[in-house]
Structure 1
Amino acid sequence: MPAREPDDEYKLDGDDEDYVPYVPVQQRRQQKLAKLVSTTSSVGQKRKLEQDAEQATQDLIDEEEARRERVRKERTLLVEAQEVHQRKAVQDAQKTDNEKKEEQEAEILAAIANRRQLASDRELAQGITYTEPLKTSWRPPRHVLNRDAEYNRKIREKNHIIVEGDDVPPPIANFLDMKIPEVLVKHFKAKRIISPTPIQIQGIPTAFAGRDMIGIAFTGSGKTLAFCLPLIMRALEEESKMPFMKGEGPVGIILCPSRELATQTYENVLDWSSALVRGGYPPLNTLLCIGGISMSDQSHVLNKGIHIVVATPGRLIDMLEKRKLTLESCTYMCMDEADRMIDLGFEEDVRNIMSFFQHQRQTLLFSATMPRKIQDFAQQSLVKPVLVNVGRAGAANLDVLQVVEYVKQEAKMVYLLECLQKTPPPVIVFSENKNEVDDIQEYLLLKGVEAVAIHGSKTQDERQYAIKAFKSGQKDVMVASGVASKGLDFNEIQHVIIFSMPKEIEDYVHQIGRTGRSGKTGIATTFVNLNTAEQTLLDLKYLLMEAGQKVPQFLLSIEDPRADGGTLKGCPVCGGLGHGISNCPKLEDSQRRQMASHSGGDSMGGGY
């Protein structure tokens, strides 16, 4: 065989008939595959080849996915955070100022929301929840049950009652139809309580039915009777079944934020219980459990079974920890001025008290001012609660004529004497500063005005003397701090003077509510000047407008920075209409108290 030239294999001779052009490997494989597919007659072989092709394609897809996963893992958290911030910045740029403010307020509200419910430690630890209201033996009369929903709606509409909840008991506009003993109804009439007030028309049947309840009504509207009467009747029922012995009870407790309010509630319970005894019903033992008094003075009550306890939180906790009282059989708990009880310095005390309960209880919260934050918390904490609202929560009593006057600080004392001439005594003068309370009393005494003073730094004996002397008519004027503004009942007062406007509009509502009670009218004169915070003046302006009162020109001239065409919403923390949650004075004060308590200061203050 002749030897080949080295380059013969690579010669490109176009005339060479044996020349085969170059075909890429992948193309040759495809041609081979096509040839095999076209020539084979076996269906199984075709399917096998198709599966091999599909598998090859899937392998390529999996390889690409794996590559992308490696790239994703290689991205740092910093890069991802930057992308999130960039997306949020784009979204924020598209939002209006009102939407941004609403989001900020929602975040603040969520941050300050109460995390623990009104439940005992045992219930929280064991995850015990109650799904059905407490059962009671009370039933409405048949003719009341037979009413249709439209008839009940008209009764509520006539009395401006707003209700929320499931299976709300029917309103009852007659004490006898509530199945209250006739002797007690006669006693009410002797006290000029002829028919139920709106909060009583819906509130008493709701409480009688064993339902958890949130009761909101303006000051002087009869809330005390609405929550005391159901407890008295329940205690009476239990005593009739089996007399209470020493160490037994109570059936229920009523918590109040101040000693004065607790004392007033206690006296009302004693009065109504005594009326029942005169009608032949068994006596009830009621214990007043407040600081500043010796419990040995009530040893005659402690040595018997106790039916009802009216208390302030601190002293009640002391009695429970010393085992002088037990809540093993307690099935009723009411908090008067509930927004204060839950929201301010008593929050931990209330939680502590709840830990002493052993069984399900009926819980009632009452107040004239119940901001949305507290309402939301209560809705989550209570068992199928019924909300009974007479007017807007935090609105002023419409029976009070509100007069706001601009008075320079140095002229207040002199002008106070002029204001005292508007109406005959008795008159209450409110000031937020304890030292100022004493100064006003001293000035009035020097001017020949019979005046007493009450504030948190005075002893309990001094506070009790001041209230008794004022109620009895021995003294014409009572100068008070905020301690006398919550719930105290002075029926004959025609005039309240607010010497220094409180920062929180809730306090103002409570203070002017000392007059215009039980359907009567009254006057509230308020001094303001440059020392009054602008947002407080805005709250006052909107409150006057809501109540249809005359708004002074200097208040009308104050512009609301939020008024940019949107709908103004009240603060969910304090209910004020002139500010949002971001600049709420109540929230600021609460945070200040918490900081003081963490640093070892006195978080309570005020001597409640």
Structure 2
Amino acid sequence: MPFSHLGLSPYLLPALQRALQEQGYVQPTPVQQRAVPVIVQGRDVIAMAPTGSGKTAAFVVPLLQQFITRESGAARAVPQLVLVPTRELALQVAETFTALAAHLPRRPKVVVAVGGVSINPQMMELRGGADVLVATPGRLLDLLSHNALSLKQLATLVLDEADRLLDLGFGEELAQILLKVPAKRQTLLFSATFPPAIARLAAAGLRDPQRIEIDSHAEQPEITQRAIRVDSGRRTQLLAHLLRQQGWPRALVFVGSRHGSEVVADKLAKAGVSAAALHGDLSNGRRLRVLQSFRTGEVQVLVATDVAARGIDIVQLPVVVNYDLPRSPADYTHRIGRTGRAGESGLAVSFVSADTEAHLRLIEKRQQLQIEREQVPGFEPQDVAAPAAVADGNGGIKGRRPSKKDRLRAAAAAGTPPAK
């Protein structure tokens, strides 16, 4: 189904299609096919779809059409409000509004309001209102308490990543916000899962919603997963080698710390690779410039921490590299899900050293994976990983530090005093 069949205005369709294609959407994804026509009709929506399925564009496109056709409101008015759980996702949603409005006859004023930074610049931005406000719940309530905006003319409320909003403890704030918005409004709820808390929220805030559910298995991205053994000290050299050998036009590289992102990006630059670091210490302006440089190809490698990469949606990203393995096995799935989006295939490469082999085995166990270990000629590891933990038949576990009982048993067998 092409975008022309989604009920969009023929007057706006060419501009929206052009912007969508520039963002990598040649054809609408399943969630866009089902959600856009319903939102255009003005109905409330509950949409569940997996990460990388195009949920953000599914609500941004019809909201841009509403913006173009709506008359100007009163001062301080906010007709469209998007609530998100994190600063990173707020910036990503705002960027999507800006990108998809690039060819419209007029552009919306999009304001981002998040905590962790001074409230005064955000209050200044909201003078005269905003066409779209993308906010975290706590900061929105702060702004309302300062009379920085009015929600009396709110027409559309979007709860993006609603399950994460509740997981991160925003339930009480959401309840307060729902009491402050007009009863007559359109509400759009987008979520990856539908736990009981989401059902209660939907019952309280939505009117006869259209429920849309995209099968996560049907939408499973095609991602090839590789694990390459390499000594820890040679990972940057191996990464530079792979970039040249494989011809990757862009790569998102995950590291474990802010300092690590700067160090790796600097080493790659010295090796002749265009690279930039992305971490939580960057200002909003710097972050946007780095992401834009990565999208346009000016920067080939983006070296990011997990926190900074949340909300990043880079269409046609060919490869993700786990320079450092994620601390949490669950984060492995979120990391590799940055590639293989919107129907594209992707590649996820993990570097594994003697020190991290056991952790990769844990990730495999938790994620029900089995990834073959590889070696790249010229980068064969010299360090040896500890063997997998298995029972030794005498109550001890090979591959783990022996217990006191194991040491006493071994000493007795050898006729030597046990080590302390």
Give TM-score scaled by structure 2 length.
0.73
Q: Residue type matched to 1:398 in 2? A: P
| Shift, 1:198, TM fit | 0.7
For 1:400, the aligned partner's letter is I
Per-residue CA distance 1:165-224 (angstroms, 9 max, x = gap): xxxxxxxx4544433122332124434345422111111133334444332334443222
What secondary structure does 1:277 align onto? coil
Structure 2 equivalent of residue 4 of structure 1? none
Deviations 1:399-444 (A, max 9, x none): 3322234555455444333443333232110123333323322332
1:353 paired to 2:181: no
Q: Secondary structure at the match of 1:429?
A: strand
1:326 touches 1:356 (CA, 8 Å); kept in 2?
no
Instruction: Work out whether 1:502 is the aligned partner of 2:326.
Output: yes
Cα distance between partner residues in 1 of 2:329 and 2:215: 16
Report what 2:335 is aligned to: 511
The DSSP-based 3-state class of the residue aligned with 1:500 is coil
The 5 Å alignment of 1:225-244 reads 225-239=57-71, 243-244=72-73
2-side partners of 1:406 and 1:389: how far apart?
40
- C-alpha distance in 2, partners of 1:259/1:330? 22
Question: What root-mean-square deviation, in Å, do the aligned CA atoms of Structure 1 and Structure 2 show?
Answer: 3.6
Secondary structure at 1:182's aligned position in 2? coil
Q: What residue in structure 1 maps to residue 398 of structure 2? A: none
In structure 2, the residue matched to 1:399 is: 222
Tell me which of 266, 270, 276 is aligned to 1:442. 266
Q: Which residue of 2 aligns with 1:390?
A: 214
The counterpart of 1:197, out of the listed 29, 47, 51, is 29
What pairs up with 1:535-554 in 2 under 5 angstroms? 535-542=362-369, 551-552=371-372
Question: 2:91 matched to 1:263?
Answer: yes
1:221 maps onto 2:45 in alignment: no
1:198 maps to amino acid: P
Moved >6 Å (runs of 4+): none
Change (3 A) 1:448 1:174: closer
Which of 168, 187, 190 is the equivalent residue of 1:363? 187
Q: Distance in 2 between matches of 1:293 and 1:473?
A: 32
Q: Contact 2:44–2:188 at 8 Å: present in 1 too?
A: yes
Query: Are the counterparts in 2 of residues 258 and 483 from structure 1 also a CA contact under 8 Å?
Result: no
In structure 2, the CA distance between the partners of 1:273 and 1:471, relative to structure 1 (3 Å rule), is closer
Amino acid at match of 1:206: V
Distance in 2 between the 1:184 and 1:496 partners? 35
**Contact 1:284/1:307 (<8 A) preserved:** yes
Q: Secondary structure at the match of 2:359?
A: coil
**Amino acid aligned to 2:79:** V
Tell me the distance in 1 between the aligned counterparts of 2:189 and 2:230: 38
Matches for 1:325-336 after TM superposition, within 5 Å: 325-336=149-160
Aligned to 1:19: none
Which residue among 159, 169, 186 is the counterpart of 2:14? 186
Q: Which amino acid aligns with 2:82?
A: I
Distance in 2 of aligned mates of 1:274 and 1:409: 44
Give the whole-Å Cα distance in 1 for the aligned partners of 2:29 and 2:5. Answer: 14
Deviation at 1:269, TM superposition (A): 2.3
TM-score by length of 1: 0.53
Give the Å deviation of 1:476: 1.8
Residue identity matched to 2:85: P
Q: Which protein is richer in helix relative to its size?
A: 1
1:301-331, Cα deviation, whole Å (9 max, x unpaired)? 6443533212234443332221111222324
For 1:518-569, what per-residue CA distance to the aligned partner results, in whole angstroms no more than 9, with x for missing partners?
Answer: 3333211123433527553223335xxxxxxx74379xx999xxxxxxxxxx
Flag structure 2 segments of 5+ consecutive residues without an equivalent: 375-386, 390-420
SS at match of 1:204: helix
Kindly tell me: are residues 215 and 535 of structure 1, through their superposed partners in 2, closer, same or farther at Cα, counting changes over 3 Å? farther
**CA 293–174 in structure 1, closer or farther in 2 if over 3 Å, else same:** farther
Alignment size in residue pairs: 367
Match of 1:532 among 335, 359, 370: 359
Q: Post-superposition shift, 1:235?
A: 3.9
Bigger strand share = 2
Asked if the contact 2:221/2:341 (under 8 Å) is kept, the reply is no
The 1-side partners of 2:169 and 2:261 are apart by: 23
Q: Do the aligned partners of 1:221 and 1:518 also contact (CA within 8 Å) in 2?
A: yes
Query: Cα–Cα, structure 1 residues 469 and 232, in superposed 2: closer, same or farther, change >3 Å?
Result: closer
1:574-593 pair list within 5 angstroms: none
- Kindly tell me: are residues 200 and 505 of structure 1, through their superposed partners in 2, closer, same or farther at Cα, counting changes over 3 Å? farther
Do structure 1's residue 453 and structure 2's residue 285 form an aligned pair? no
Task: Mark the CA change 1:558 to 1:181 in structure 2 (over 3 Å): closer, same or farther.
Answer: farther
- Measured in 2, the distance between the counterparts of 1:456 and 1:498 equals 18
Q: 1:305 to 1:475 in 2, by over 3 A?
A: closer
1:417 pairs with 2:240: yes
Letter of the aligned partner of 1:228 in structure 2?
A: V
CA distance in 2, matches of 1:316, 1:430: 31
Q: Structure 2 vs 1, CA of residues 401 and 387 (structure 1 numbering), >3 Å: closer, same or farther?
A: farther
Asked which structure has the greater CA Rg, the reply is 1
Distance 1:333 1:289, change over 3 A: same
Distance 1:264 1:496 in 2: 19
Q: How far 1:504 moved relative to its partner? A: 4.2
Structure 1 unaligned runs (5+)?
A: 1-172, 543-549, 560-608
**Alpha-carbon distance between aligned partners in 1 of 2:122 and 2:46, rounded to the nearest angstrom:** 34
- Distance across 2 between alignment mates of 1:227 and 1:188: 13
SS at match of 2:292: helix
Aligned to 2:38: 206
| Mapped partners of 2:295, 2:319: distance in 1 | 14
8 Å CA contact 1:218, 1:396 repeated in 2:
yes
Sort the Cα spacing of 1:410 and 1:276 in 2 relative to 1 into closer, same or farther, 3 A: closer
Distance verdict in 2 for CA 1:345–1:444, change over 3 Å: farther
Shift of 1:352: 4.5
Per-residue deviation, 1:480: 0.5
CA deviation map 1:330-386 (0-9, x unaligned):
24221323332221254554445334324254333324x426466555555553444
- Alpha-carbon distance change, 406 to 540 in structure 1, aligned in 2, over 3 angstroms: farther
Contact 1:334–1:365 under 8 Å retained in 2: yes
Amino acid at match of 1:196: P
Aligned AA (1:223): K
Query: Does the 8 A contact of 1:505 with 1:536 survive in 2?
Result: yes
Describe the shift of the 1:181–1:506 C-alpha distance in structure 2 as closer, same or farther (beyond 3 A). farther
How does 1:51-66 map onto structure 2 within 5 Å?
A: none
Which residue pairs with 1:483 in the alignment? Answer: 307
